[in-house]
Structure 1
Amino acid sequence: MDGLRGLTADDPQWIGDYRLIGRLGSGGMGRVHLARSEGGRTVAVKLVKAELAAEEEFRDRFRAEVEAARRVGGRWTAPVLDADTEAAVPWVATGYIAGPTLSEVVGSAYGSAGSYGPLPEYALRRLAYGLSCALLDIHGVGLVHRDLKPSNVLLTIDGPRVIDFGIARALDAVGDQTQTRTGMVVGSPSFMSPEQVQGHRVGPASDVFCVGSVLAYAATGRAPFGSVASGVHAVMFKIAQEEPELADVPAGLRELIADCLAKDPAARPGPEEIAARLGPVPSGSAATPWLPAELIARLGQHAVRLLDTDTPPGGQPPTLTTTRVPTGPAPAPGATTEPRRRPRWLPLLATAVVAAAATAGAVSLLGGGGAEDSASEIPARFVGTWSGPVLRDGAPTGQQRRFVITNGKVGEVVANSTSLGATYECRSDGTLVSLTAHDGRPALRLDTKVVRSIPAGRCAALGEHILEAGSAGTLKWAAAGRTATLHRAGPAEERVPAGYLGTWQRPDADGHGSRRMTIKQAPAGSTVLTTVVVGPGLRCTAHADLYAAVDGKLTVGPPVADPAAPGCAPGGTSILRLNDDGTLHREFLGDDKQPRTYSRAE
């Protein structure tokens, strides 16, 4: 909120269903605005630069990255709530986090006025734990952040939050062209990994290196390989060739940070190891706040300003007086909007937040969560990825149902579901209708809309869906006479094991054609399999999405043929697994033909 500026004549009043309040900043991707939904939720809306939107390669990558980012759950990141990747100028809306950036708090390397300076060791441990947990969530859906830096880490009363995951990869799609045209660099030089500065392949270990740099900065107020003020190329050379400067890092964290900053990606600890090596970390509570009292007070001031900030008609700078709630379409240019009186609880809550921030012992008034948590109506126990087999009247149907549930409020899309059968795949968006109690347990009631059907026209929304908290950490799903017990999906189910990656081939039985399959890494719900069938007078290319990787097997949905390849025979859901002899076994559900065996292509 410290960087909030008023709207200008160039800013729209609305983006999608979100009414803009002010500008939060700008960067390589475009502008970032503070906005509110019609239901009153505060969000950050990122509007892509027009020149990037004109690049079809960027738009394709951006579309895929936003879809993957929607599936990132957990409390350590800013949830992706909404997006329009097909708009003339694409945009994405994320939950707004009412807290300063780490760069604003530490400040010395960025010249921030009123900064606190380096964090004490107990706060650094909590920061390291939160960043490692955020990486688990991000990497768990197949994303790599690629631009983890102090300005992408926000500090809240109950821990750090990571923002902007996945966007840098979309920028890479046009990086070579756009860098010359706009001077944009993907990544921040002082917080890049050796792989990035040398132009090598960037994987999850690159984010671990960046965590090491961020922690060193938080501990000392300086980037471990120097500031770009000494020259970008000098900093990049140090990152690639020299050791970091860690003399002022607390001794209890120096070894861990040094290991994160290993030049060899394979030598760096994984996020799980980072969390384990930190040992017991205070969770952040009224009894054990994770930040010094001065910073707790600042976070409270952020929350107060967020509650009481609005933009008057005409795009003037934000004031701290009246909150207007949109009740219909955006007003015409020059039109005025009648202010609505703020609810009585708003100034009372603001007063409570100030009191909570004044002493660390009153942090519990915020319920132990950041501002975006208090705005959510979805219990944390529901958030995440869930899957299980579908029953009808108690009998197995052979179908699978998968839900990805995110934070949100009534009237917002909070769930994406996939129904997978032997010959079809259906995807739906679920809008939260109500959060009701049933048999003493919370339940989500969703109104669903089909957003993808394979084959076209096959899928139906099934009316209202109900999700209830089950026993032993499960969810119970019911819709149109169908039920399922859903279990939380682990990170391993969200990505393709390394042994499957590459190109596989086999000849057709008649010897006159061939089939080639290429398997790539991508998160569940994205295309991982491309099949090319070549025969006399035929060349058919089709693509299939990953449903899950469970028990050493890949389940991929029905293939979708390229429109330019007429005559391709439709296929169904298939199961792939590696054989002991190094070949690949593929069988189709509901198909009585013999399984197909593929060998690695030379």
Structure 2
Amino acid sequence: MRPLRDQDPREVGGYRLLGTLGSGGMGAVYLARSQRGRLVAVKLVRPDLASNHLLQERLEREIRSAMRVEGEWVAAVRAHDVEAAMPWVVSEYVPGLPLDSLLTRLGRGLAEHHLFALANGLGQALLAVHAAGLVHRDLKPSNVMITVEGPRVIDFGIAYAVESAERRLTRTGAAVGTPAFMSPEQFETPTALTPASDVFALGSVLTYAATGATPFGPLDSDLYALMLEITRGTPRLDDLPAGIRPLIASCLDRNPADRPSPETILATTFDYLKSQPPGPWLPPAALQAIQDHDAAVRAFVADAEAGAPVSTPPAPATPYAPTADGARTASALPTAPIGLPPAGFGPPASSASSAEPSSLVATRRVRVLVFAVLILVIGVGALVRGLITMAGEGDDRGAEDSAGPSDTPPQEGREETTVEPNTEEYVGDWQGTASWDYGDEYDNWAVRVHVEPDLEGGPAGTVRLLATDVLCEMTIVESSWDPDDNDGRGAWRFTPDVVRMVPEDAPEDSCPGEQGLAAAADGTMYWWIPASGGGVDLESTWAPQNIDFPPINGQWEVAQQDLAGLLGVPGEPDGDPYQVTVTGGGLGAAVVSLQPPASQNSGCSWEAYLATVGSIQNILLSPFVESRWSENCDIRPAQVGYATYPQDDTLVFEALDVDPDLFFTAHRGA
């Protein structure tokens, strides 16, 4: 919670805004007062995510579905307007703390009896969500609000609606959700999810509530390793309290059909809770933390409505995490019994539900999914020209967080200090994206930076830029430290060497010259081109080596007429299909090849290089270039990069310039 800034609105849809609950890539969430005097949460959706008529329809449909969800343990969606200049959604305000914040304040996990009560409340919440025909898709600790009365689930349906709209604009394909709390099928078949996917997430949330880690490793695990563990590994449950371990293990079964239903979870947890003596559902320290937080919020609201200066309620500084030996054991947790939970826990009067979940299957042009931290969908035709036009563009963070590097001298009267050069906070892998819809033109581009320290203290490494019609691979050289940049925090500038452009004959100005890197206080990075001032925020990401892509590896076939746009030839409607082969490989490796049918005897083939990775099922490719050529081959593919991912039984190749004539799908070869 923080006070409103000057740039924040004061009223939205008749709701008076009081303070900011949070913000992110999709928009900001505000605490507000309704005309009837109730406190509510108002989510403002970025206008670019709903500026398209088709996206408005999708948002409208998904939000209306979410409004059908009613129950004691969910935060109901009350109102919305997706056609407003700044689209908004209103839901109940839940007084309490997110589960992850509560565990941070406690410094420990929950005991067995508290975990059973938590599982019971979350089971009822999932039952309500599924009865409305929805799958939550993103059940995680920050979406579980802990109140004095019990847990309440938030953001069902809304996250899916907004994120699917964002994917429509960024043209990505992958899975909605937070990787550490996703089910195997969210990585493998994200368009065909069932309620069982939420049950898997419930098992991960309960494990985190007990140990501070997920069943597949700490939250800061390498993301690719985490995905492989979830899809192929075995959950680590040895440190769970023995009584609840079988229930959590069943929730984490790899086969969705073998996981318990929410009704079974309710029956199992209720049987346990009935056997316990009466008492509160949380330990005293947790209840006190919630009451203290609620009191701070009430004081904040009173000051905001009175027009007095308001202060931000305190937040814990150190996240809760496992101990050095891997996880906290049950013996280290509180042991005071809690007994029966408050009214509302336990199996409902009628625990059977015949409602079928809606398929929510995206159309061809509405993407299947990816996590914002990994997704790199991309490509502006003339990258430098695109950066120049976007100079000064920002995101939805606070002005104090989003200020980029500046060439202006320190303000007069300000004490000047010299910031010593550093490389430690720059070292690692960073990536970020940007995308703009100009109506008749669509620009996507991405930046991926790898930084390692050299012996002289300046950064060394690589920069990869994937634009619509070129992949630039560059090495960082000639670094210099500018202590006045980055609002006095200092920044590195460097002139890169272009190692490779794909295709090789791309215009010389496709890859920029001098570039800059500035580390922000929140752990992010800012990359920019000093000549134009344009840049993009980067986030820390994983460092792929030789990557295997199990869902998309192997042989695929494409009908000749489907390649007419890419190859510039009509193709025979009944002709033999072209062959597509996908293999594993590292960044910059040729991982996709395209060959004409043997009947053409053309002697030519093409390949595309791996630009970056969204997940084990989502890769981004350079333009196709010739890998084999003969005098009989006079075809050159259109110079355009591709986002490639599976959808249903096909492999989708979507051009980064969003030209429908270049879109094609491949089918598994015989």
Q: Report the TM-score, using the length of structure 1 for normalisation.
A: 0.50
2:256 corresponds in structure 1 to: 265
Match of 1:193 in 2: 183
Q: How does 1:234-245 map to 2 (within 5 A)?
A: 234-245=225-236
C-alpha distance in structure 2 between counterparts of 1:318 and 1:37, whole Å:
20
Q: Map 1:100-139 to 2 at 5 A.
A: 100-107=97-104, 114-139=105-130
Check 1:19–1:249 CA distance in 2 against 1; reply closer, same or farther (3 A cut): same
Alignment of 1:507-522 (within 5 A): none
Report the CA distance between 1:129 and its aligned residue. Answer: 0.5
Any residues of structure 2 matched to 1:82-481 within 5 Å, and which? 82-107=79-104, 114-171=105-162, 173-174=164-165, 176-178=167-169, 186-200=176-190, 201-280=192-271, 282=273, 287-310=278-301, 312=304, 318-319=310-311
CA shift for structure 1 position 91: 1.0
Report what 1:33 is aligned to: 30
Change (3 A) 1:56 1:226: farther
AA aligned opposite 2:183: S
Matched residue of 1:137: which SS?
helix
CA distance in 2, matches of 1:27, 1:245: 31
Say if 2:72 is the partner of 1:75: yes
Partners of 2:132 and 2:357 within 8 A in 1? no
Q: TM-score, length-normalised on structure 2?
A: 0.45
- 1:16 equivalent to 2:47? Answer no
CA distance in structure 2 between the partners assigned to 1:184 and 1:266 by the alignment: 23
The equivalent of 1:584 in structure 2 is none
Shift of 1:230: 2.8
1:478-497 equivalences under 5 Å are: 491-492=353-354, 494-495=355-356
| Aligned residue identity for 1:240 | T
Q: 1:28 and 1:277, CA in 2 relative to 1: closer, same or farther beyond 3 A?
A: farther
The yes-or-no answer on 1:42 pairing with 2:39 is yes
The separation in 2 between residues aligned to 1:250 and 1:285, in whole angstroms, is 16
| DSSP 3-state at the match of 2:22 | strand
Report the secondary structure of 2:20's partner residue. strand
Distance 1:245 1:497, change over 3 A: closer
Q: Percent identity?
A: 44
How far residue 288 of structure 1 moved from its aligned partner, in angstroms, is 1.1
1:34-53 deviations in Å (ceiling 9; x for gaps): 11112221111111122212
Q: CA separation of 1:5/1:174 partners in 2, compared to 1, >3 Å: closer, same or farther? A: same
Cα offset, 1:80, TM superposition: 1.3
Counterpart residue identity of residue 77, structure 1 = V
> Is contact 2:174–2:187 with CA below 8 Å preserved after alignment?
no
SS in 1 for 2:78: strand
Match of 2:61 in 1: 64
- CA drift of 1:262 comes to 1.0
- Which secondary structure state, in structure 2, belongs to the residue aligned with residue 309 of structure 1? helix
CA displacement 1:91-112 (0-9 Å, x = unmatched): 11111111111111223xxxxx
Secondary structure of residue in 1 paired with 2:234: coil
| Distance in 1 between residues matched to 2:272 and 2:310, nearest whole Å | 39
Partner of 2:28, secondary structure, is strand
- Deviation of 1:227 (Å): 3.5
**Equivalent position SS for 2:297:** helix
Name the SS of the counterpart of 1:103 in structure 2.
helix
User: Residues of 1 paired with 2:245 and 2:260: CA distance?
Assistant: 14
CA spacing shift, 1:285–1:18, aligned 2, 3 Å: farther
Shift of residue 28, structure 1, vs aligned partner:
4.3
The amino acid that maps onto 1:236 is: M
Provide structure 2 residue ranges, at least 5 long, that are not aligned to the other structure.
314-335, 362-670
Residues 78 and 97, structure 1, Cα contact 8 Å, conserved in 2: yes
CA distance in 1, matches of 2:357, 2:287: 42
Contact 2:3 2:312 (C-alpha < 8 Å) held by counterparts? no
The amino acid across from 1:262 in the alignment is D
CA distance in 1, matches of 2:264, 2:226: 28
- The structure-2 alpha-carbon separation of the partners of 1:79 and 1:285, relative to structure 1 and needing over 3 Å to count, comes to farther
Structure 1's 254 and 369: CA in aligned 2 closer, same or farther, altered over 3 A?
closer
Secondary structure in 1 matching 2:97 = coil
Give the 3 Å change call, closer, same or farther, for CA 184–284 of structure 1 in structure 2.
farther
Q: Judging changes above 3 Å, is the alpha-carbon distance between structure 1 residues 11 and 304 closer, same or farther for their aligned structure 2 residues?
A: same
What is the distance in 2 between the residues matched to 1:202 and 1:273?
A: 20
Amino acid at match of 2:57: D
Paired amino acid for 2:88: W
Q: CA deviation at 1:286?
A: 12
Range 52-61 or range 85-94, more displaced: 52-61
How far apart, in 2, do the equivalents of 1:57 and 1:496 lie?
Answer: 22
Cα offset, 1:316, TM superposition: 8.1
C-alpha spacing 1:178/1:222, structure 2 compared with 1 (3 Å): farther
CA–CA distance in structure 2, aligned partners of residues 316 and 230 of structure 1:
44
Displacement, 1:291?
Answer: 0.4
**How far did residue 176 of structure 1 move?**
4.0
Using the TM superposition, give the Cα deviation of residue 133 of structure 1 relative to its aligned residue in structure 2, in angstroms. 0.6
Aligned CA distance change for structure 1 residues 495 and 161 (closer, same or farther; 3 Å): same
Change over 3 Å in CA distance of 1:184–1:319 after alignment to 2: farther
Amino acid at match of 1:190: A
Residue 230 of structure 1: SS of its match in structure 2?
coil
Distance 2:85 2:307 in 1: 22
- Partner of 1:75, secondary structure, is coil
Secondary structure in 1 matching 2:285: helix
**What is the aligned length?**
334
Q: Measure how far apart 1:184 and its partner are.
A: 10
Preserved contact between residue 282 and residue 290 of structure 1 (Cα < 8 Å): no
